[in-house]
Amino acid sequence: MEKIRIGITQGDINGVGYEMILNSFETEEMASLCTPIIYGSPKVATYHRKSLGYQTNFQVINGAETAKEGTLNLINCFGEDELKIEIGQATEDAGVAALTSLDRALADLKEGKIQALVTAPLNNTTIKPADGGTFKGQTDYIERMVGEGRRALKMFICGNLRIALVSDNIPVAEIPAHITRENIAERLVILHNTLKRDFFIDNPRIAVLSLNPHADGKEENEIIIPVIDELFKRGVRCVGPYAAEAFFGANSHTHFDAVLAMYYDQGVSAFKALALNEGVNYTAGLPILRTAPAVGVNYEQAGKDMTDEQAFRQAIYTAIDAVRNRTRFDRERTNPLQKQYVAKRDDSDKLKLDQVTEEE
């Protein structure tokens, strides 16, 4: 069978993107797991390979359809244009190059030429979208470009630890306005369906964190608890709300398949303390699959061979698994007789969850 084609964006050419990519694929084993395709520049890749002393081989191809298995492929997105490399510096040229790489990869992803996308880190402040708007991050941009009207849910993953967010990276003063019944319900349904389809967890358990420190404020009583109660009745196994400090302090997250945090720092601070250098940023809720290492451009480490590539490797592994799980999930549900047979062996909660997935 043909191996899964994974597109890889180069990210910021002055950051640690190429360092993580080249280091990850220096051994042949990584390229044997999938067909990796970098959207970038051969000249920039060669520069990083030589300056870091890596032995990683890659072949330049014209398009994703000509990618070869068992090797690292690279599509030249820049023709003969020279890209100025200034290691460790935030430059406009690096921003243009990062967005060009991302746009080319998204076009192929939308057309089905690749099956999943892994994005290297970039610097949001150097990106200037063609529509003149503000670049709010790769997740938001991907949602607008290929989301087909669906809302993306940002998740952070490390092994069995999965933390999703109701509100993203916004000012603290704006957080309460985003804690609405509609937003929480939408996030919980997306999370529930993602756990079932992309992670193939048949009967997922979701913990919901509180907004206030002791889980006894107005938002908990009037917004969060009513949503939990309503969705639980509809088959989404969500419980809470839990105060974040006590929840993570007691390792309660180990009893759940995922956690829904109310705001960015609440979820991500705990995640980075637990995940260390192996965290993955997962984009849920969209028709396409995208992962990323949960690290920044790290200009201060760029070009010094100091970056741990484990997060990037995990992003590749997660993308491969998600493609397989989604394919298996969809295939099994095209056979109604098989589904009925499996359903007979399930308990009532699992039957309810199947109904929610179909209705939503």
pLDDT 10s digits, 73-115: 999 999 766 789 999 999 999 999 999 999 999 999 999 999 9
The answer for 272, left when phi > 0, alpha when psi is -120 to 50, beta otherwise, is: alpha
Structure tokens at 302: 């760029």
- Counting other chains too, the contacts that 300-303 makes at CB distance below 8 Å and 24 or more residues apart are 300/88, 301/16, 302/14, 302/15, 302/16, 302/19, 302/87, 302/88, 303/19, 303/48, 303/51, 303/52, 303/87, 303/88
pLDDT at 353 over 60: no
Supply the pTM of this predicted model.
0.90
pLDDT at 27 over 90: no
pLDDT at 340 over 70: no
Condensed to tens digits (0 to 9), the pLDDT of residues 246-300 reads 999 999 999 999 999 999 999 999 999 998 789 999 999 999 999 999 999 999 9
**Secondary structure of residue 75 in the 3-state scheme:** strand
Condensed to tens digits (0 to 9), the pLDDT of residues 177-205 reads 999 999 999 999 999 999 999 999 999 99
Tokens 């889980």, located at residue: 215
pLDDT at position 133 is 79
Q: How far apart are the first and last CA of the chain?
A: 33
Average pLDDT, the chain: 91
pLDDT at position 129 is 85
